[in-house]
Structure 1
Amino acid sequence: MKPETGKPHQIETAILTDGSMRVSVLNYGAITQGWWYKDVPLILGFEDPNEYLTDTRYLGAIVGRVANRISGATFDLDGASFELNANEGKNTLHGGDDGLSKQFWELEPIAQNEVFLSYVSRDGEGGFPGEIRFEVRICLLGPRLVYSIAAQPDRPTPISIAQHNFYTLGASEGVDRHKLRLASNRYLKIDDQGIPSGRVLATTDKALDFSKPKTIGSAPEGIDHYFCFDHDRGPKAPVAELTSPSGLALTVYSDQPGAQVYSGYELTKLRRTSRGVCIEPSGYPNAPNISSFPSIIYTPEYPYRQELILEVSEE
């Protein structure tokens, strides 16, 4: 990897602390390397930061410009067609090989419990139009971890960011026995490449129905789907709740329309602990190619904003 002149090229680490919680953040990929509660690891992570340079699973990263998949690595906008970097077969995943998770960000510690990261994505990076300044503020307010994400483009362009933690809540044996509840009774139908067709299906009476708490392992083929959050949920209502057999629980609050949930069933050989589950609030995947999906086009007058709040408790 050869960073551009003037960009940082060494991995830097910031440690946030508040009460009985601790978080480790890297400037590479704006990655959350670790999150601990009373020294119990809550997410998957590598001990050696350099292992993230070759990681293909996006552990703890901020992913984009456009999270999830774009079919055919192409989309049209304002009469122009844009060819993107195809990094998953013929499709684009998480912004391509030069996505946000593969960049060195500027890292600025703000306080003992807060860090600010920024990155300027140049026009044409990954094939996407427009220059964008991305900012991520991570604040640890035990028992909460808050991600405030902003993006200011200089022209209309698609933006959809996801935070890609793999949650374990201290489990070393995997998350099949963890219980998950989602504020959702709908999900996006996908093809064999994980690309949404445009159809929104009801989860009722299906293996993917997590409108009431049930174990992650109850989905026999694993979970790697985008769930649409309930429209009528209150502004302060959680969008997801994850409970470990140990009694630790994670509550997720988000202002996004839905989330990709991935149960990590393909993860192997990760150090420190086994697979975890991703809950990735973001815009609808492949939205630039499906007009019926909520738009993810942002402009200089209408910049991107997202807030993600993660709260840990003991039952």
Structure 2
Amino acid sequence: MIFGTLPSGEHVERVELSSGRLRAEVLTYGAIVRSLEVSGRNVVLGLDTLADYLTRSRYFGAVVGRYGNRIANGRFTLDGVEFRLPVNNGRHSLHGGTEGFDSKVWTIAARTGESVTLTLTSPDGDQGYPGTLTASVTYTLADDALRLDYTAEADAPTVLNLTNHSYFNLNGGGDVLDHVVQMEAEHYLPVDDGKIPTGELAPVKGTPFDFTEPHAVGERYDGGYDHCFVLDGAARVTADGLTMEVTTTEPGVQFYAGGMLDGAATPYGPFAGLCLETQHFPDSPNQPKFPSTVLRPGERRTSTTTYRFI
């Protein structure tokens, strides 16, 4: 089903998935999850038209890459060679640069009524990244869950950090300040004023970042969360009688409460949705103590994230 046509003339398709009480719409543009219904309630923020996604999106529902989150000063060194990336977040590179994976048309490789696999080839030098990279994401609805399975391979050493940037609102509208969050995370990554990690894995105990016990988003820190947590297990969000449990093979999750949504540049105002972006840590290519995000020829990178509704 055609969702819209880009100025280049390329068509963007919409794929509908269903399983039990879950329904989803996925776009080939940006591999976007446009909607996710749980018993008829849409729990993600989506946009009405392709034009909106081209001009009014804050990565709503998209797969971001090659490198989700921030790389300091838009540069990193790999095997003794420095690579420079577009800067689009102050002096830093965010979510793959100015024309990242969220702005590409992915190809449908396979589909059923419950799942779809999308693929993308990123050429050598794309946004400054080395090597030709082939990536895929499979969205599957099953057992009251949306599962995301990523794979990637490259023909030269590169760095990779894929994640999905869906904004969740379990109320189906309004803001998420009443959403109760609990995370099995004993540590988080403090950041500087540019939101670049300092390199420390700091204990959450005694800080506003302690979600080992449940707390509402708006209860502390003015709800202004945009931080990576070191996951030891699951993350859970509860609102209006619905719980979303997030599990992943990734080492971290970026908890962003949507405080920078402004209601002018996008259709949504502050705190209209929250993100739980499962990923490797921000700025890992410049942080040797963090888990490596280097992908080398002959390796096949895989990861899985599941959003289960209870």
For this structure pair, what is the TM-score category when the shorter chain's length is used for normalisation?
A: over 0.9
Instruction: Look up the match of 1:201.
Output: 202
The equivalences for 1:66-77 within 5 A come to 66-77=67-78
Secondary structure at the aligned position of 2:12 is classed as coil
Distance 1:192 1:203, change over 3 A: same
Secondary structure at the aligned position of 1:196 is classed as coil
Partner letter of residue 292 of structure 2?
S
For the 8 Å contact 1:207–1:218, the answer to whether it is kept is no
Cα distance in 2 for partners of 1:266, 1:89 equals: 14
Instruction: Look up the match of 1:234.
Output: none
Match status 1:253 vs 2:247? yes
For the 8 Å contact 2:157–2:295, the answer to whether it is kept is yes
What percent of counterpart residues are identical?
32
What is the CA RMSD across the aligned residues, in angstroms?
1.7
Select the residue among 214, 227, 230 that pairs with 1:228.
230
**Unaligned regions of 5+ residues in structure 1, if any?**
231-237
Cα distance in 1 for partners of 2:204, 2:141 equals: 34
For the 8 Å contact 1:45–1:271, the answer to whether it is kept is no
For the 8 Å contact 1:20–1:142, the answer to whether it is kept is no
- Aligned-pair CA distance for 1:212: 1.1
Distance 1:96 1:272, change over 3 A: closer
Instruction: Look up the match of 1:233.
Output: none
Instruction: Look up the match of 1:191.
Output: 192
Instruction: Look up the match of 2:148.
Output: 147
- Aligned-pair CA distance for 1:271: 4.3
For the 8 Å contact 1:14–1:109, the answer to whether it is kept is no
Instruction: Look up the match of 2:88.
Output: 87
Cα distance in 2 for partners of 1:78, 1:242 equals: 41
Partner letter of residue 96 of structure 2?
G
For the 8 Å contact 1:14–1:26, the answer to whether it is kept is yes
Cα distance in 2 for partners of 1:55, 1:227 equals: 28
TM-score, normalised relative to structure 1: 0.92
Partner letter of residue 268 of structure 1?
D
Select the residue among 236, 244, 253 that pairs with 1:241.
236
Runs of at least 4 residues off by over 4 Å = 270-274
Select the residue among 286, 291, 298 that pairs with 1:289.
286
Cα distance in 2 for partners of 1:41, 1:272 equals: 15
Cα distance in 2 for partners of 1:9, 1:186 equals: 44
Distance 1:84 1:271, change over 3 A: closer
